[in-house]
Amino acid sequence: MNVTEDSTEQCGNSLTRELTQNPLKKIWVPSSTNGLPERHISQRKVCMTNCPTLIVTVGLPARGKTYISKKLTRYLNWIDVPTKEFNVGQYRRECVKIYKSFEFFQPDNEEGLKIRKQCALAALNDVRQFLTDEGGQVAVFDATNTTRERRETIIRFAEQNGFKVFFVESVCEDPDVIAENIVQVKLGSPDYIHCNTEEAVADFMKRIKCYENSYQPLDEELDRDLSFIKIIDVGRRYLVNRVQDHIQSRIVYYLMNIHITPRSIYLCRHGESDLNIKGRIGGDSGLSARGKEFAKALRQFIQSQNIRDLKVWTSQMKRTIQTAEALGVPYEQWKALNEIDAGVCEELMYEEIQQRYPQEFALRDQDKYRYRYPKGESYEDLVQRLEPVIMELERQENVLVICHQAVMRCLLAYFLDKTAEELPYLKCTLHTVLKLTPMAYGCKVESVCLNVDAVNTHRDRPSNVNVLRTTEDALQTVPPHL
């Protein structure tokens, strides 16, 4: 630790250096001499890494590299690590407008090789821009990268730019897995838009063959100084080498918990509660009469879906537990699924919040994701608290999560890749079940309204978010209530 004389001088008055609380996030920061908060000291999240990370996929075609890239990118962005994927195949499609056949990928096709190398370099250039100029923290370089030579090029690029490199290799020889992969994501690819299924499959199999001869998998000995995870047979086995830092450790943990077994995740809120009817937020009230109707309807819906081995999760608040009770099946209570803590605003109506805390109310509308209620939480805090829930949802198969409005928005944002700006305004209405089914590179959403009336609890962002706004402007978008 270096506490030099210089810093003693600078901070000589550090004890008299006042702390002010950032009004939005309620974080205490030292204020500079003019009384304004200084540019931040290390924020609440643990320092993920001190330099940007380049994740590099490795593997033959149809081994799930893009699936992993997109999923990992989605997860990292959700936990607030700015991440972007760079798919070299995309660059190739932009360069070579029309895909003719597998012959483009033949190892002796000089024209093809030239274009493919150019595309890889163009992608790396964009990687550099993202990590160096645009504040990116992780870039996922998604390509086959099957030769040691290509990987060396990437490593040199990373060293020149001060990026750490972490390889993610997918190795699989199970013909069923590969066939299913091709059906799910290759047949619908722009490359095969003009082919029928048989032609597409035949061509793609030949494309894979083009890579096989020159494929040099990551090797325990030859690549012992690299940092990598080798995923074998869709997660049956993993080889992990030289994890360097926190973010790589989290990435490894995440990759080891995901699977591709078909399943569905059902998300819904508790049934309408007594406080809902009164237009009050938070609290721990029980279900209203209509809420109890919903619980019964939910039971029927679940039964009609005939779900195999369904797990049911609730929060530890009365209204979700009452809802689960009606299902007549075992359920697990998670404190982590509790509704966002509104602190001093707990059990208030929006009208009362405007009356007692007009500045807070406005700050919240200015940045609803980062805004923390006094003595309460922010959506940002919620995401951190929900991360173990997401991790366990990844491990599980069929699950029904009965939770709350803000919590459901966070979970939904993870599955549907919504930004921090969109998340707090996602529509999660009472008495509606969302059925999420992973499909190809994303998630299919089916919304099932169970036809039991309920109040609307969704408050849109009003047009005027200024702290000086009138009460009418502030309350413009408050939904009706008793």
Minimum distance of a copy of itself from residue 376's CB (angstroms) = 11
Which residue number, 44 or 427, has a Cβ lying nearer to a copy of itself?
44
Tell me the β-bridge partners of 56.
Answer: 141, 167
Token digits of residue 64:
């799930």
Distance, in Å, from the CA atom of 51 to the CA atom of 248, rounded to the nearest integer, reads 12
Indicate which single residue of 240, 329, 416, 448 sits in contact with a copy of itself (rule: CB under 8 A).
240
121-180 residues near a copy of itself, rule: CB under 8 A:
none
For residues 209 and 121, give the distance between their C-alpha atoms in angstroms, rounded to a whole number.
24
95 forms part of the interface with a copy of itself (CB under 8 A): no
Distance in Å, CB of 3 to a copy of itself, minimum = 6
Q: Which amino acid is at 10?
A: Q
Q: Residue 139 corresponds to which amino acid?
A: A
Q: Please work out the total of residues on this chain that contact a copy of itself, with binding judged by CB under 8 A.
A: 50
Residue type, 64: G
Site string for a copy of itself, 376-415 (x = CB under 8 A): -----x--x-------x--x--------------------
User: Binding segment for a copy of itself among 6-14, 49-57, 71-79, 286-294 (CB under 8 A)?
Assistant: 6-14
351 part of the active site: no
**Nearest distance in Å: CB 326, a copy of itself:** 18
For residue 405, the minimal CB distance to a copy of itself (Å) is 19
Residue 275 near residue 254 (C-beta atoms within 8 A): no
Helices (H), 286-370: 289-305, 318-325, 350-356, 358-366
Query: Which range of residues in 151-159, 163-171, 196-204, 236-244 is near a copy of itself by CB under 8 A?
Result: 236-244
Decide if 339 is catalytic: yes
Asked if 482 interacts with a copy of itself (CB under 8 A), we say no
Interface residue with a copy of itself, options 125, 303, 316, 437 (CB under 8 A): 316
> What distance in Å separates the CA atoms of residue 352 and residue 436, rounded to the nearest whole number?
36
CA distance 78 to 379: 11
- In DSSP terms, 266 is beta-bridged to 400, 435
242 touching a copy of itself, by CB under 8 A = yes
Q: Which residues of 348-369 are buried (b: 16+ CB within 10 A; e: fewer)?
A: bbbeebbeebbebbbbbbebbb
Q: Are 226 and 242 in contact (CB under 8 A)?
A: yes
Of the listed 85, 169, 270, 293, which one is catalytic? 270
Which neighbouring-strand residues pair with 228? 167, 241
**Which tokens in the block code for residue 12?**
């000589």
Tell whether residue 273 is among the known ligand binding residues.
yes
| Selected catalytic residue, list 339, 360, 377, 380 | 339
Q: Which residues are catalytic?
A: 270, 339
Contact residues for a copy of itself (CB under 8 A)? Answer: 1-3, 7-8, 10-11, 14-15, 17, 19, 21, 26-28, 30, 41-44, 46-47, 220, 224, 236-243, 246, 249, 252-253, 256-257, 316, 330, 332-335, 346, 375, 381, 384, 392, 395
Binding-site residue numbers for substrate are 269-276, 319
